[in-house]
């Protein structure tokens, strides 16, 4: 776990799911035959495997080679690890447990059987079989390409792709961010019904001239940074090893964009000088440049704060990695109809989740919370805030 934390710049996304249909399906199967009805975890495992077939990048790993370079290793097949409390209590590892499921999948009954066997007195007869623990990843695994088998998983190697170009740049930036920035995360749900309705009204007047929701949020973010400028700073390390907090005049608002080349963050320069319509035009221009691969290095490296609209991927929240050397990143989840209390009565409202990851060296939780609350309040009451702006 310690090595994972040091070396892997992990990020987290989450989503609420309505699993009523799945629970009802399993209940129906249990009525037909309780012993033959798969558990809910088995269904979820099957969906996970199907998802990995569609998004195989999540079934790869990074290998560091002897010369210090890195590669992305992809294998044919999936070994699905299942974390179980019972195996920890019994002192077992997954390597001790033979899997009886498809392709050696370890099922709950396998864990229970192995736990029971561990509890029994040792027998004088030799064991029928032994199960080796997984081999640790090392640079020597590069030599396994000739055999066509990955020694850690035992699965055939599909390919080895050198980590380079945009993907390497992103990896280096995210890794450095995770190593150097002591980030913290705060989040809040916001009722954005009024904002959605405001944009709908503007679209009725002129569909082409109505700014997108992201432009409104960007305008509120810029206004929030004027009130909480600590989040628009960065830490510089000087030649003598000392550090300083650098503050600039203005905001270059980075916008995380997923492209065929990977994650890019083009920035709207001097976003603090723009109104909502101007921000909308610039956001669309930069998004097109990023998708077409025409964004310049200056476009991609000049940001002072990042806005990440991960709601377009259908997820609710994310503990995102700060775009080094910036000090904060604000994420916006999908907008859903949810029950919400309005004036003491329950109503269905348009709700989204806002998540702010920030560098705890440049500010404390009060500043981060104040900024997040300002942006949320602006999205909930856009008319009054835009009038003041």
Give the torsion through C-alpha atoms of 280, 286, 290, 292, to 10 deg. Answer: 90
Asked if 178 contacts 323 with a C-beta cutoff of 8 angstroms, the reply is no
The span from the first CA to the last CA of the chain, in angstroms, equals: 47
* Phi, psi dihedrals of residue 132, rounded to the nearest 5°: -75, 145
- Residue of 312, 386, 333 lying closest to 188 (CA atoms): 333
For the chain, how big is the Rg over CA atoms in Å? 25
Burial (0-12, 13-18, 19+ Cβ within 10 Å), 175: middle
Enter the tokens of residue 174: 């995210």
Enter the tokens of residue 116: 């029971």
Query: What burial letters (b/e) apply to 189-199, b meaning 16+ CB within 10 Å?
Result: ebbbbbbbebb
H or E element that contains 318: strand 317-319
Enter the tokens of residue 112: 């229970």
Q: Which residues is 351 bridged to in the sheet?
A: 191, 336
Residues forming the active site: 360, 364
Asked if 277 contacts 205 with a C-beta cutoff of 8 angstroms, the reply is no
Asked if 113 contacts 191 with a C-beta cutoff of 8 angstroms, the reply is no
H or E element that contains 225: helix 213-227
Asked if 352 contacts 257 with a C-beta cutoff of 8 angstroms, the reply is no
Burial (0-12, 13-18, 19+ Cβ within 10 Å), 314: exposed
State the Cα–Cα distance between residues 272 and 270, nearest whole angstrom.
Answer: 5
Those residues whose C-beta lies under 8 Å from the C-beta of residue 298, and which sit 6 or more positions away, are none
Enter the tokens of residue 126: 């030799």
Those residues whose C-beta lies under 8 Å from the C-beta of residue 104, and which sit 6 or more positions away, are 79, 98
């Amino acid at each position: 776990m310690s090595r994972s934390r040091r070396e892997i710049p992990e990020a987290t996304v989450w989503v609420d799911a309505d699993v009523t249909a799945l629970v009802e399906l399993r209940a129906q199967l249990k009525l037909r035959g309780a012993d033959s009805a798969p558990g809910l975890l088995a269904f979820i495992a099957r969906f996970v495997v199907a998802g990995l077939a569609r998004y195989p990048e999540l079934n790869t790993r990074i290998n560091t080679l002897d010369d210090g370079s890195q590669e992305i290793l992809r294998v044919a097949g999936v070994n699905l690890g299942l974390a179980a409390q019972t195996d920890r209590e019994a002192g077992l590892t997954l390597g001790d447990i033979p899997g009886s499921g498809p392709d050696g999948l370890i099922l709950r009954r396998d864990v229970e059987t192995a736990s029971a066997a561990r509890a029994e007195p040792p027998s004088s007869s030799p064991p029928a079989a032994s199960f080796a623990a997984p081999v640790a990843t090392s640079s020597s695994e590069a030599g396994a390409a000739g055999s066509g088998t990955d020694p850690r998983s035992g699965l055939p190697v599909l390919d080895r792709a050198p980590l380079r170009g945009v993907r390497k740049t992103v990896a280096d930036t995210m890794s450095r961010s995770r190593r150097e920035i002591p980030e913290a995360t705060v989040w809040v749900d916001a009722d954005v019904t009024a904002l959605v309705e405001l944009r709908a009204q503007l679209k009725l007047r002129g569909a082409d001239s109505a700014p997108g929701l992201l432009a409104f949020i960007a305008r509120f973010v810029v206004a929030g940074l004027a009130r909480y400028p600590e989040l628009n700073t960065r830490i510089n390390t000087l030649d003598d090893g000392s550090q300083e907090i650098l503050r600039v005049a203005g905001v270059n608002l980075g916008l995380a964009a997923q492209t065929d080349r990977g994650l890019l963050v083009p920035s709207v320069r001097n976003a603090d000088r723009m109104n909502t319509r101007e921000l909308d035009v610039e956001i669309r221009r930069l998004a097109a440049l990023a998708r077409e691969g025409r964004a310049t290095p200056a476009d991609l490296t000049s940001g002072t704060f990042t806005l990440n609209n991960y709601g377009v991927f259908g997820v609710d929240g994310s503990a995102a990695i700060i775009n080094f050397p910036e000090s904060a990143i604000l994420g916006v989840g999908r907008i859903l109809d949810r029950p919400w209390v309005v004036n003491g009565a329950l109503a269905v409202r348009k709700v989204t989740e806002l998540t702010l990851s920030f560098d705890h060296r440049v500010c404390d939780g009060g500043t981060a919370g104040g900024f997040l609350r300002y942006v949320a309040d602006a999205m909930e009451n856009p008319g009054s805030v835009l009038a003041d702006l």
